[in-house]
Amino acid sequence: MADGFFAWRRSGKKPQAFWVHPAPDPARPGARSRAIAFAGVAATHRDDDQLSFAIVVGPASALVAPITPAMPLVVPADGYAAWLTGPRERARELLATPPDGWRADPVSSWVNSVEHDDAKCIESTSNLAQGELF
């Protein structure tokens, strides 16, 4: 489970990072985004029982396409059981519709370091006060 993902728009010398996530519930101001699940696959290697995982990616949604051409595919909450146990056709249907009610917030380059794992990684930079611009 996750509450969003990062994507980078590459233009010019410095890529701009975005935190892509479900929009917060207006009825719960200050609350974090709801948890989501990415489509994934897992397999055990037959020679050494090593377990491997991968997140399934596909074409970017209309929201994400201006940032990057691909994104992780999101399984809708009402489709978890079908993704895990249902027929292939149902799983494909689940991934055919991009999630709605999402937003892409620009964030600072703080997120670009593996040493940073804190709330500053998802702080939006889109509402800077005048004094912070220069």
Residues 55-102 pLDDT 10s: 999 999 999 999 999 999 999 988 999 999 888 888 888 888 888 889
49 Rama class: left (phi>0) / alpha (psi -120 to 50) / beta:
left
Residue 76 lies in a domain: yes
What's the rounded Cα separation, in Å, for the pair 103 and 119?
17
Question: Is 97 or 109 the better-scoring residue by pLDDT?
Answer: 109
**What average pLDDT does the segment 34-40 reach?**
90
Ranking 29-38, 46-55, 104-113 by mean pLDDT, the lowest is: 29-38
Tally the domains of the chain. Answer: 1
Residue 85's domain is classified under what CATH number? Answer: 3.90.1680.10
- The helix/strand count (H/E) of the chain reads as 2, 9
Q: How far is 3 from 37, CA to CA, in rounded Å?
A: 8
pTM metric for this prediction: 0.82
Residue 85 is assigned to a structural domain of this protein = yes
The range of the structural domain enclosing residue 21 comes to 5-27+34-126
What is the amino acid identity at position 12? Answer: G
Contact 64, 99 (CB under 8 A): no
